[in-house]
Structure 1
Amino acid sequence: MGIKEIINHKVEKMAQEIAVAKEHKMHEKFMAAAIKQAKKAEGLKEVPIGCVIVMDQKIIARGYNRRNTDKMVLAHAEISAIKKACKKVGDWRLEDCTMYITLEPCPMCAGAIVQARIPRVVIGSYNPKAGCAGSVLNILQESRFNHQVEIVDNVLQEECSTMLTEFFKKLRQEKKEAKNKSEMT
């Protein structure tokens, strides 16, 4: 290998590293927007899960968990965002979109993602109790379905995970205090 080939190889490698860094920054930017949505859910005393759907580098839909507020099992962040994105795009197929979600989707949401033909999902934190992007099941990449989803994981994982951990810690503390208070009366 001559000097010219070595230089070309190094330049190509640097270009790849720059492209990867740019993509990572983009994922962090949109995951931060999903975290903002999760904080809206938290403000309603809902489990803080947020979602954004991006098309052509622009957010076209947002959603956050409202299950208790709406008293509706379907009021998950992903379902809300998918409904809005379909309306915006004018089609049930979201083939040119990327979904950013703070927590790995449940079975229902993973099924909706596959049905909507979303090609890529970026996940903040895995869900070992109900996750269907690899933790419990992998509905998103099930080879027997006619559509599989690329998964990018652990984007702003620490922030997403900490937000959930702190929420449940606070919830348990509030329940404990309420129980203690009721035992005193």
Structure 2
Amino acid sequence: MISPQLLPPVSHPAGWASWREVMDVALRQAHEAGSVGEVPVGAALLSAEGKLLAQAHNAPLSLNDPTAHAEMLCLRQGASTLGNYRLTGCILAVTLEPCIMCLGAMVHARIAGLVIGARDPKTGAVLSRLKGLRLPFLNHQFWVLEGIMAEECGNLLSSFFLRRRKARQDLLSP
């Protein structure tokens, strides 16, 4: 049986019209990432009261930092804003299912919930490749809501990688 606190809330956070509105903030960040050549993943962090604490996009290439995923940057900004690395009650919305590194950071940050746009069948550590929240040794759990603007989030990633493959083929063609 799932404990009640691990179930997603019935309604969207205070001050927001819908979960789609929250995901739209993350999706705008993802578009920005893609426009500068980064993998188009974006994230937004809300406080327990629904205040937007942080928004970020993937930036490992531009920052020369393998940990500069959208989720990690949002968690860092949120912790800095709140003056505490424990983001109790906070909700993270991300356009793509997080990897294992980001999942670990979310557990350590003690977020309350995660809203996912599209699943990641290759490296998703929450629902797809690894059911990360089911690991018995984790000292924190949080609720997960998936599929918010999944088509839009997935299409952005698909078109980005399609353009990238085409550009690579064009370079190799005589």
- TM-score normalised to the size of structure 2? 0.88
Q: Which amino acid aligns with 1:33?
A: V
Measured against aligned partners, the alpha-carbon deviations of 1:89-148 in whole angstroms (never above 9, x if no partner) come to 110100110000000000100100001001100000000100011101122343421101
**Residue matched to 1:153:** 146
Structure 1 residue runs of 4 or more that deviate by more than 3 Å after TM superposition:
none
**Residue matched to 1:165:** 158
Distance 1:103 1:171 in 2: 18
**Residue matched to 2:12:** 23
Bigger Rg, structure 1 or 2? 1
Please identify, of 64-73 and 22-31, the stretch whose mean Cα deviation from structure 2 is larger.
22-31
**Residue matched to 2:46:** 54
2:106 paired with 1:117: no
| Alignment match of 1:102 (pick from 61, 85, 95) | 95
Which structure dedicates a bigger proportion of its chain to helix? 1
**Residue matched to 1:11:** none
2:120 paired with 1:127: yes
Distance 1:122 1:138 in 2: 15
| C-alpha contact 1:142 1:148 (8 A) present in aligned 2 | no
Q: Which amino acid aligns with 1:112?
A: A
Distance 1:84 1:23 in 2: 22
How many pairs are equivalent? Answer: 162
Q: Helix, strand or coil for the counterpart of 1:152?
A: strand
| Alignment match of 1:66 (pick from 59, 65, 69) | 59
| C-alpha contact 1:31 1:100 (8 A) present in aligned 2 | yes
Deviation of the 1:178 alpha carbon = 1.1
Q: Which amino acid aligns with 1:30?
A: V
Distance 2:79 2:153 in 1: 26
2:39 paired with 1:40: no
Distance 1:141 1:174 in 2: 40
Distance 1:142 1:23 in 2: 28
- TM-score normalised to the size of structure 1? 0.83
Deviation of the 1:23 alpha carbon = 2.7
Distance 1:26 1:142 in 2: 31
Unaligned runs of 5+ in 1: 1-18
Distance 2:120 2:156 in 1: 13
**Residue matched to 2:3:** none
Deviation of the 1:151 alpha carbon = 0.6
